[in-house]
Amino acid sequence: MNFGIDTYNLENGVPVIKLEGEVDVYTAPQLKQQMISLLESGTKQIVIDLTKVEYFDSTALGVLIGGLKRMRERDGNLSLICPNPRIRRVFEITGLDKVFDIYNSVDDARTGIELVS
């Protein structure tokens, strides 16, 4: 099983959860726990970096939707970095590309978040 998760902060303090490999029924709970930990610490904005994700299943999609819902309940937001056309297609097919703020790079996300703030 190929999976990695790492969290770091942008210069403006916004946390980025960087995922790598396969995000599926086995690994999605780690993502969920990381998002909950950040949310409980008072974070209003989270960025999920899917740049190095090779596989993404419906469980992972459900975790992201749940995270977005929790963030918005607290007047926050959850944004995605997803340059991979194959992974991005999942969001387009489900219509979730209209629900999530999706960026092509960390720089795009940084700029987009600063414009919203």
| Non-local CB neighbours of 45 within 8 Å, separated by 6+ positions | 14, 15, 71, 76, 77, 78, 79, 113
* Boundaries of domain holding 42: 3-116
- How many helical (H) and strand (E) elements, i.e. helices and strands, does the chain have? 4, 5
| Non-local CB neighbours of 113 within 8 Å, separated by 6+ positions | 10, 12, 14, 45, 47, 79
For residue 87, the model assigns a pLDDT of: 95
Domain count, the chain: 1
| pLDDT band at 38; cut points 50, 70, 90 | very high
For residue 29, the model assigns a pLDDT of: 97
Structure tokens at 51: 């740049």
User: How does pLDDT run across 4-24, given as a tens digit for each residue?
Assistant: 999 999 988 999 999 999 999
| Non-local CB neighbours of 27 within 8 Å, separated by 6+ positions | 1, 3, 5, 21, 60
pLDDT at residue 115 greater than cutoff 90: no
CATH code, domain with 98? 3.30.750.24
Mean pLDDT, residues 37-58: 95
Q: Tell me how far apart the alpha carbons of residues 5 and 23 are, in angstroms, rounded to a whole number.
A: 10
User: How does pLDDT run across 53-100, given as a tens digit for each residue?
Assistant: 999 999 999 999 999 999 999 999 999 999 999 999 999 999 999 999
- Three-class secondary structure of residue 66 per DSSP: helix
